[in-house]
Amino acid sequence: MQLFHKHTTLQSLVNFLLVSSSFCVLYVLISVLFLGTSKLVHVHSSSQELSTPTTLDHLVFGIASSKSSWAKRKDYVKLWWRNNNAMKGCVFLDTLPDEDEDNDASDSVPPLCVSEDTSRFRYTCRGGLPSAIRVARVVVETIALKNNSDVRWYVFGDDDTVFFPENLVKTLSKYDHGLWYYVGANSEVYEQNRLFGFGMAFGGAGFAISSSLANVLVKVFDSCLERYPHLYGSDGRVYSCLAELGVGLTHEPGFHQVDLRGDTFGLLAAHPVTPLLSLHHPDYTDPIFPNMTTTQALKHLFKAASVDPQRMLQQTICYNRWFSWTISVSWGYAVQVFPHHMSLREVLKVQETFKQWKKGNMLAKAYTFNTRGTPPDPCKRPSVFYLDNVSFGNDGIIISSYKRSFQNCSNDDLLSPKRLEEVKVVTKKLDLDIKQLKAPRRHCCDVMPSSARDQLEIEIRECKDEELIYMH
């Protein structure tokens, strides 16, 4: 009887343990399932956010200026700033301009902001400007602006930095703003990079910082400034602070510092295969179109940019085998017709039409790209045709026309391109996807039959898979 009782008690205990174990296993399974579902939901929401296209509304601009320079340079900002609250950002000044000087409509330029007092920071760089501290802190003050929700990128530049906003959006969309990115470009001059840093984004060209990186940078920036009183410029301080965070520069060649003087035709006519993002130093270079002021010339360029921004300055080369002509199209800007055959690699070199930024040793004239000289004989130079007009044709076709620029050459040879007066270029609007942005390829072009003796017609198209660009 006692033995039976012990057996019953033991059996009950076993049953209890089995039931308890079942509940434990069930609990663990439910927990794992719940946590896994939560992670899936989190990943799904993150991927949803990344799949949402980046737009102009996701960008915030911080523009460094001063009271003395703003009066003159605000016309450059008006060229690219979008009206009707389509863009977010601020122009930072040392003091506000007088009321009679500030007569612009509120939506034609960004809001004006007064920079914070920076007298607490040390500045000991010989020959530098104390304003570099204030300009460096434009980064912090831009990130701290209110009513900037849903920001993905902060873009910084000077008041004489001319941005191309649609191309900025397109280029930055290939990067994940949730990761730490510092995007910009170097100077065109080797010596400038050697002095200030090959890993630095030059501020005049403009640069962009992803929102995730900006949110961390803003917390440590002021403490970092204290360690670099010896640096010359504001962009050097930003670069040093980002380097302390372990972030390197992601190079985008569409940003242009333009540390050059004089005629920048050669640089613009041989633009790399990437969207045009910015142009700097318009006060130090000649107007990019002849017989125009600097502002008029930039406005003329933006006429083409408003029609097909992603194709701006994209260089396409084709050959006319009947006349042995080599033709280079820098869309929206100029067409060059060389009176002889040139290999593709020679055409792609930048023609040295400009002067060096600063006088000095040989390094002052060493550039970060390959250059070629200009033939001393005008009759051996290419015939240059500058943008005249851009219009839409049927079925979304874009027709751009380029008129001949005057040259002092009286060559009347029937095979000479000097007899041409106009070049017409036919294209479709360029809309690059992420794959094309990450792995760009130059387009091809064909010389079309023309009924006019003094006119050349060219069609730009995507190259075929195995197509080569050379003189057939």
**For the chain, domain boundaries:** 56-257, 306-461
Model pTM? Answer: 0.86
d(CA 331, CA 428): 12
d(CA 152, CA 163): 18
Q: Which amino acid is at 352?
A: E
Vertex 290: Cα angle to 261 and 372 (nearest 5): 50
Q: Which of 128, 174, 232, 78 is nearest to 435 (CA)?
A: 174
Strands, E, within 168-307: which ranges? 182-184, 207-210, 250-251, 260-262, 278-279
Vertex 308: Cα angle to 382 and 463 (nearest 5): 65
Tokens of 154: 């902060």
* CATH class of the region 306-461: mainly beta
In this prediction, residue 45 carries a pLDDT of 39
Helix, strand, coil in percent for the chain, rounding step 5: 35, 20, 45
pLDDT along the chain (472 residues), means of 10: 43 46 41 40 42 91 96 96 87 87 70 92 80 95 87 97 98 97 97 94 98 97 92 94 98 98 97 97 97 97 97 97 92 95 96 91 88 87 95 88 82 70 95 94 93 89 95 86
3-state secondary structure of 327: strand
What 8-state DSSP symbol labels residue 449?
P
Ramachandran region of residue 345, left (φ > 0), alpha (ψ -120 to 50) or beta?
A: alpha
Q: Which of 281, 259, 251, 258 is nearest to 185 (CA)?
A: 251
Tokens of 416: 């000479």
278 φ/ψ angles, rounded to the nearest 5 degrees: -160, 160
Residue 361's CB is within 10 A of a number of other CB atoms, namely 8
| Cβ neighbourhood burial of 226 (10 Å; 0-12, 13-18, 19+) | exposed
Question: What are the counts of helices (DSSP H) followed by strands (DSSP E) for the chain?
Answer: 12, 21
In CATH, 56-257 is 3.90.550.50: yes
